[in-house]
Structure formats: structure tokens, C-alpha cells
Structure 1
Amino acid sequence: MRNIIIAGVILVSGITQAQFVKEKSINVQIGYGLSIPYNSMDTIGDDGFYAQGELVLKITSWFQLRPYAGVVFTNSNGTTLGGKPTNELAESNAFLLGGKFRLRAPIPYVAPYVELGIGTSVGKFQTKTFFDNVTSKGFIYHIPFSIGLELGKNNNVDIGLTYYAQPQIRQFVGAFAFGLSFPLD
């Protein structure tokens, strides 16, 4: 795993020096973390926190590469969305690391976007439903996906739903997030 992380750092370093990168910036996001089991939409691990930092590599006005690192902490409170007690739970306490790409409509003031990528989560995870009972510690892979809007004259404010599918533990984890971008050039 250490070799994969080193290769990723070298790749990102090479990409950031490449001439096809038009602009570079840092995006910082914070949000309310949630975890949702695949087989139960009635149980959600809330009482959560999400924070992430991204290196934004603008290739064109509509395409960006985004290596990221972040954290998510969720905790099931033992109740359903309606407030009824349940034995089901979905919890994740993890460090997130990976890369994704963003396709965006290059519109000033309100630019919708969609993201997709691949990454790893490192931490402690638990999913308990009628169909699944999974507990894991350590490394698992995840698939990040997001939809949202970039706001402002320079599209430097970001609001969106950002989630990570974690097939090994049978849950989604993510947040309704708010972010700000800071140019590096």
C-alpha cells in the first residue's frame, strides 16, 4: 500500500507540472457527515462530520482533475429516520484518500457539476442491518461521486452532495458539503 501512495504522489506531482494544466487551486470542504447502509434506507448514521481538501487541476473550462484527502466521522444513534428505536446501524470513522474528475458546465455564477473517481478509506467501519453484518478496520476502497453547484463570479464557492460508495462494508458515506476554492497561480 505504501508503494501505491508513493506512486500517487509522484503522479500528482508530475501532473501539476504538466503544461496541459491551465489553473491550479485548493478547494476546502466541510459538511454534515452521514452513512447509509445499502440494504436499509430507514437507518442513517448521522451525528457526523466531514472535511476534505482537494488540489484542483483545471484542464479545460469543463474538465478538472481533483486528488483529495479528507476525513469522515459518522455515528448511528440507534433510531430510524422517524425517531423509532432500531437495532440497525451504519458507522464510519475514516481518513479518505484518492482522485476524481469533475465535469462541469462552464457557466459564470451558477455552474452545475458531477464528479466520479476512485480512492481508499482507512479507519473503522460497521454496517448492521437485517441483511448485512459487516465490521472492518483498516483499508477499504471507495468510489466517490458528487453532484453540486459552483457559485459566484469565479465559481469559487461550492455546495453539493458528495458521497463515497464503500462496497466492502455495504454502505455509502458522505455529506452535504460547503466548500471554498483558493487559486494557487
Structure 2
Amino acid sequence: MNKLSSLLIALLFLTFCCNAASAQTQKGEFINTSIGIGMVAADDQADITGSGFYAQGEYVYNILSWFGLRPYAGAIFASGASDEPGMDHYKVKSNAFLLGGKARITAPIPYVAPFLESGIGMSIGEFKTYTPYTHLEKKGLQLHIPVTLGLAIGRNHDYELKFVYYFHPAAEQTSGAAAIGYSFPLDRS
């Protein structure tokens, strides 16, 4: 390796390190909006799923570059029926507004930061799980447990690709979404 290529590698490494410092997940307050393709599935052995619409907004308070708290409000409207011939009366449905709080742990990696979220919340709406194994219909207020796996993307991690799940124990179903999100800071200093 000659001196020119060694200098070029050192210069590229230094440039990458300087850019990486500003690309970490940032502390502060943000608003995050997400939209995606909603889904719902029964928690039993039946292969009955449905699809629909999902949207959510979050107030984000990042305490550290790798940890934050996220109260949220959203909605999911998803339903589906069995694909098996003669079994189309088996259905699953989740039409609900979602409220709750989550905590996020992020790997503060430049440009693509994986994250995991979980917390507790409540759903207000209608849930139907009618399968060969389960016959439930719930209306009103239900507990749910949110879990999200995703990637924060971009120089400031403003964009997100994520899989969002809401486990509804009382309705014996899981709803969620494949979603994209965008965060913008509230403190623009």
C-alpha cells in the first residue's frame, strides 16, 4: 500500500467519524407520526388474519441518546375472514383507538439505528375473534401491550421503518402494522 492510498483511507475514516458523531440518536423532545398497513390475527392455532389501516402519533422525550419515553395515541382498523372454503364465517376484527405509553431502547448507530419499544396501553373500540377455537367479541376498553421492532434511518434518525404489535389478551388477538414514521424536533435550537 502506498502513502497516497494510506492517506486516502485515513481521510475517509476521519470524515466518517466526524459525520457519525452528529448522526447519533438525539436527546430532546420530538413528535413522531406513523402510518402503515394494519393487520390483525387470532392468537390461537387458526390461520385467520386481516388487513386494514394504521396511524399513530407520539410525543417523544429522549432522556439519553439511546433511551426515550413515548406516550402515544393512534388508531387501527383491520379485519379479515378465513380463506378456507366453507369456513368464511370465521373472522377476526380490530377497530380501535389506542392510547398508552412506551419506552424505547435504541442502538445509537449512525444512519441506521435498530430499536425496540414496549409498554402498556388501552384500546377503545370493537374486537372480534371468531375462529374454530375462539368465540369472543369485546367492545369498549381493553388492555393492550405494545411491542415495536424497527430501524431509525437517516443522518438524524428522522425516518423509521417498523413493525408494530399490540397484544390484546382479553380479545385473544394481536393487531399491528408494517409502518413508516417521521420525527420532527419540538426544540429547534
Q: TM-score range by the shorter chain?
A: 0.7 to 0.9
Stretches of structure 1 lacking an aligned partner (at least 5 in a row)? 1-20
2:124 paired with 1:119: no
Within the candidate set 79, 86, 89, 1:87 is matched to: 89
Q: Are 1:149 and 1:158, in contact at CA under 8 Å, matched by a contact in 2?
A: yes
- TM-score where L is the length of structure 2: 0.82
Report the identity percentage: 47
Q: Are 1:31 and 1:175, in contact at CA under 8 Å, matched by a contact in 2?
A: yes
Task: Note the 1:73-112 alignment, pairs <5 A.
Answer: 73-76=77-80, 78-80=81-83, 86-112=88-114
- CA deviation profile, 1:76-133 (whole Å, cap 9, x unmatched): 1x333x8985332110110000000011100111000011100000001100111111
Greater gyration radius: 2
Alignment-derived partner of residue 32 in structure 2 = 27
* Regions of 4+ moved over 6 Å: none
Deviation at 1:138, TM superposition (A): 0.4
In structure 2, distance between residues paired with 1:92 and 1:131: 18
Stretches of structure 2 lacking an aligned partner (at least 5 in a row)? 1-25
* Paired residue type of 1:79: S
SS in 1 for 2:61: strand
* Paired residue type of 2:168: Q
Within the candidate set 51, 58, 62, 1:54 is matched to: 58
In structure 1, distance between residues paired with 2:87 and 2:182: 38
Distance 1:100 1:41, change over 3 A: farther
Alignment-derived partner of residue 153 in structure 1 = 155
Alignment-derived partner of residue 68 in structure 1 = 72
In structure 1, distance between residues paired with 2:36 and 2:159: 14
Alignment-derived partner of residue 12 in structure 2 = none
Q: Are 2:46 and 2:131, in contact at CA under 8 Å, matched by a contact in 1?
A: no
Within the candidate set 128, 135, 141, 2:143 is matched to: 141
Distance 1:180 1:150, change over 3 A: same
